[in-house]
Amino acid sequence: MGLNVYLAGEIHTDWRDQIIQGAQGLDVTFSGPVTDHAASDDCGVEILGAEDQKFWHDRKGALVNGIRTRKDLHDADVVVVRFGDKYKQWNAAFDAGQAAALGKSMIILQPEEHDHALKEVNAAADAVARTPEQVVQILRYVLTDKLPG
């Protein structure tokens, strides 16, 4: 058994790298959104032409990024959704909603302070982790039966 794991959510810290690094040697294929913030925001207009209105500038970009998200979500066995401590992060919760409706296994990675605000999201998840290392430990256990320590 190998696992496809989609790393959704926050793109401002190195949590993805920590998980990918920690999971070396495991049979996991990781995917994730474009993490270059500027590219992610501007991909639509850069490729398909400029827009006067920011609303449609954003729309074009969101739709192009959606091609990648759709593929990654569809292929994923496990979706990890990271909520950080800044910004609205509605996109993370939106991805979590899609993952839940598609019946994917889901791990939420978030600080304790968000517990109440994320209670519905957490309730749809298989685990609420506090650190990238815990996510790695779950993946290792699922794949190899090995617990940490």
DSSP per-residue codes, the chain: --EEEEEEE--SSSHHHHHHHHTTTSSEEEE-----HHHHHHHHHHHH---SSHHHHHHHHHHHHHHHHHHHHHH-SEEEEE--SSS--HHHHHHHHHHHHTT-EEEEE--GGGTTTTHHHHHTSSEEESSHHHHHHHHHHHHH-PPP-
Cβ proximity to its own copies: between 20 and 68 the closer is 68
Stretch that binds its own copies, among 10-18, 19-27, 67-75 (CB under 8 A): 67-75
Smallest separation, CB 131 to its own copies (Å): 10
Q: Among 14, 17, 27, 75, which residue sits at the site for its own copies (rule: CB under 8 A)?
A: 75
Q: Among 13, 71, 85, 111, which residue sits at the site for its own copies (rule: CB under 8 A)?
A: 71
Site for its own copies in 97-116 (CB under 8 A): 97-103, 105, 107, 114-116
Site for its own copies in 18-57 (CB under 8 A): 31, 34-36, 39, 42-44, 46-49, 51-56
Q: Rule CB under 8 A: say whether 85 interacts with its own copies.
A: no
